[in-house]
Structure 1
């Protein structure tokens, strides 16, 4: 029997891409989200809309998409003092890390996801962590997650695999992956319905989606989409020349 997966699904671009990747790969996929007092809590409102749209627009995936789980992790917001859990300016800290880094966040996410996966009989955990253009978060590193996979497997006496399909690709390549998985329909869904802005601003619609346009997450998304759009234009131009 093919493995079943649990996707860490925030409602943002990367986790939506990972969800599509898992639906394309596994026969049964469930999702899990965390309410940790994040400043951009608007992402939690996007989650059910994205899930509903995936079921509606991609019939081949609808039958694979199982239960969604939401956990209250407000304690994380209580013990942290970051720009993602408080209304403060985004800046670099003396230790060289941005103050958008929430200490322990991904470690807790995966540990709790593993507990749910254990109960649900799911063998694979999927997360959107990335080293290529990440914001300097040490808990997004491949080495961190490989070590965590070993610890979780030992602690639960169950082989659970952590998959990170975005680990070695940048944002432009992430957009390419979205298109390969679901075509223009999935690109449009990601632009229109996901949320990635750190500030939680959903008042402005850009070509790449909603956001403030100024925070690091928005700038990365915009840069990646511009590169992706340029590639698409070049490809169309080459195709037109070939037809002439």
Structure 2
């Protein structure tokens, strides 16, 4: 079968509107001639995540010269049926804690595997073969589908299944959260750091009523704790 890739310098970013995916979007805009984004409505209990992603996208265009022209279409895929099957504290009214399996109840079984498969199908149709995701195993949250070993296996499976070479880029894979803040600063300076602080959403509880030095969130869930610690470590390192 003829290889459908028509844009060798194009990438599709898995974009949730959080700190990590916003940094990955900037990373992609810095490297590829055309960048598109895809978001997933997987039945998450807080619509604030989907609202944040569009604000971040719209503001991102003006941060660096050329980014406006490189940032292409956004796509949203309805995976609410999957979210109902893969019930977790992110898709149902459950406590955020370590479950009987030893994994946190915020773990959505197979989420990254599903997202990458659907994103790859979309990329195939759009003539792209590079996917960019914010998975990270350095600040490991207990999610087995965030490990590079998992991503490598998925990359091979998608390559075989689509009969085209697919590359899954994970620029944050080996970075701490402090290093992720640093990367954002390198890519877009104070403007990008400010955008991440004000508009991205990470909090598992969907709380945007409290503004901390590291951004909005409840300040108590694991996602807020990780983001806050990374911010303070980065601030301390930069003086």
What TM-score range do you get, normalising by the shorter chain? over 0.9
What TM-score results when the alignment is normalised by the length of structure 1?
0.93
Q: Does 1:139 align with 2:145?
A: yes
Q: Does 1:71 align with 2:77?
A: yes
1:20 paired residue among 26, 47, 52: 26
Match of 2:4 in 1: none
State the distance in 2 between where 1:202 and 1:144 align: 32
Count residues with an aligned counterpart. Answer: 233
Which consecutive residues of structure 1, in runs of 5 or more, have no partner in the other structure? 234-244
Match of 1:221 in 2: 227
1:201 paired residue among 196, 204, 207: 207
Query: Does the 8 Å CA contact 1:39/1:198 hold for their aligned counterparts?
Result: no
State the distance in 2 between where 1:163 and 1:40 align: 27
State the distance in 1 between where 2:87 and 2:16 align: 20
Q: Which moved more, 1:151-160 or 1:74-83?
A: 74-83
Q: Which moved more, 1:147-156 or 1:72-81?
A: 72-81
State the distance in 1 between where 2:18 and 2:191 align: 16
Q: Does 1:167 align with 2:173?
A: yes
Instruction: Report which of the two has the higher share of helix.
Output: 1
Which consecutive residues of structure 2, in runs of 5 or more, have no partner in the other structure? 1-6
SS of match in other structure, 1:57: coil
State the distance in 2 between where 1:40 and 1:3 align: 34
Q: Does 1:118 align with 2:124?
A: yes
Deviation at 1:2, TM superposition (A): 4.7
State the distance in 2 between where 1:123 and 1:23 align: 16
Query: Does the 8 Å CA contact 1:4/1:124 hold for their aligned counterparts?
Result: yes
Match of 1:237 in 2: none
Query: Does the 8 Å CA contact 1:32/1:113 hold for their aligned counterparts?
Result: yes
Instruction: From the CA coordinates, give the structure whose radius of gyration is larger.
Output: 1
